[in-house]
Structure 1
Amino acid sequence: MGQSISNSMKENQKEMQKEMQKKQLELILKQRQTQLAIQFASGKEFFHWYASFYCLIFPFCVIGAIKKKVHFDIIQNPLPVVVLVPLGFVCAYQYDMFYGDKMKRIKLEAERLIEQESQLFYFPKNAKIVSQEEYESILEIKKIGN
C-alpha cells in the first residue's frame, strides 16, 4: 500500500515537472515572439522615417546639382547627386527587410548555419560555461561526418 502511494506520488511529480517545463517553454516562446514583433515593428517605423528623409532630400540634391549648373556632368561636381546613391542603397535594404522577403532569406541562412556549421556557435574552450559535449547534447547537435 505504501509502495503504491509512493509510486503515484512520483508519477504526479513527473507530470507536474512536465507541465511546468511545457509552461516555461510556452512563456519563453511567447516572450521571443513579442521581442521579435517589437524589433520588426521598430524596423518598419525606422524605414518610414528613413524613406521620408530620402524622399525629402532627393529633390534638394537634384535641385542643388542643377543650380550649380552641373547638369549631371559627374566630372565637374558630383557631390549633390552622388550622395543619393548610398542613401538609396540603405533605403532599398530597409524596404527589402521589412516589406520584401529578406527576413525569409535570413531565416533560411540561419537554419543552414545551425544545421551545417554549428561549430561556429561553440563556446571558447576556456569559457568554463559548458563543455562542447554538453552543448551538443543540450541542443541535440548531430555531428557531420559520423
Structure 2
Amino acid sequence: MGQTIANSMKENQKEMQKEMQKKQLEMLLKQRQTQLAIQFASGKEFFHWFASFYTIIFPLCIIGALKKKNPLPLIPLVPLGFVCGYQYDMYYGNKMERIKKEAERLIDQEPQLFYFPKNAHIVSQEEYQEILGININKK
C-alpha cells in the first residue's frame, strides 16, 4: 500500500510539473506575442509619420528643382524613397514572411552561425547541438 501511494505521488508530481511547464510556456509565448505586436504597431505608426513627411517633402523638392533649374534638390528623394518603400514592405507587404523563411533556412542549414564563442563558458558547441537536437553531420 505504501508503494502505491508513493507511485501515485510521483505520478501526480510529474503531472503537476508538466502542467506548470505548459503554463510557463504559454505565458512566455503570450509575452513574446505581446512584445512583437507592440514592436509591429510601433513600426506601423513610424511608417505613417515617415510617409507623411515624404509626402510633404516630395513636392517641395520638385518645386525647388524647377525653380532653381537644378536637379540637386531631387537627390534626397532617392534614399527617402527607399526607406519609405522598405517600411511599407515590412508593415504592409510580405517582408516579415520572407524574413521568417530566411531565419528558418539559417537555423536549418547554417546552425553554426549561432554557436557561442569558444571562451564564452556558457555552453559548449556539443551541448548546444544536443540541446537543440542538431545533427552534427547534417549539411
Which residue pairs with 2:98 in the alignment?
A: 105
Q: Which runs of 5+ in 1 are unaligned?
A: 71-77
For residues 7-22 of structure 1, what are the structure 2 equivalents within 5 Å?
7-22=7-22
The C-alpha deviation readout for 1:63-97, integer Å capped at 9, x for no partner, is: 11111123xxxxxxx32011100100000000000
Which residue pairs with 2:41 in the alignment?
A: 41
Which residue pairs with 1:128 in the alignment?
A: 121
Query: Post-superposition, which runs of at least 4 consecutive aligned residues in structure 1 deviate over 4 A?
Result: none
Identity over the aligned pairs, expressed in percent? Answer: 78
TM superposition shift of 1:137: 1.9
Paired residue type of 1:15: E
Which residue pairs with 1:6 in the alignment?
A: 6
Q: TM-score, normalised by structure 2?
A: 0.95
For residues 41-60 of structure 1, what are the structure 2 equivalents within 5 Å?
41-60=41-60
For residues 87-106 of structure 1, what are the structure 2 equivalents within 5 Å?
87-106=80-99
Which residue pairs with 1:27 in the alignment?
A: 27
Paired residue type of 2:127: E
Equivalent-residue separation in structure 2 for 1:142 and 1:64 (angstroms): 61
Paired residue type of 1:47: F
Q: Which runs of 5+ in 2 are unaligned?
A: none
Equivalent-residue separation in structure 2 for 1:100 and 1:63 (angstroms): 31
RMSD, aligned CA: 1.2
TM superposition shift of 1:142: 2.5
- Alignment: residue pair count: 139
Paired residue type of 1:54: Y
Equivalent-residue separation in structure 1 for 2:28 and 2:108 (angstroms): 22
TM superposition shift of 1:130: 1.1
Residue from 76, 84, 90 that aligns with 2:77: 84
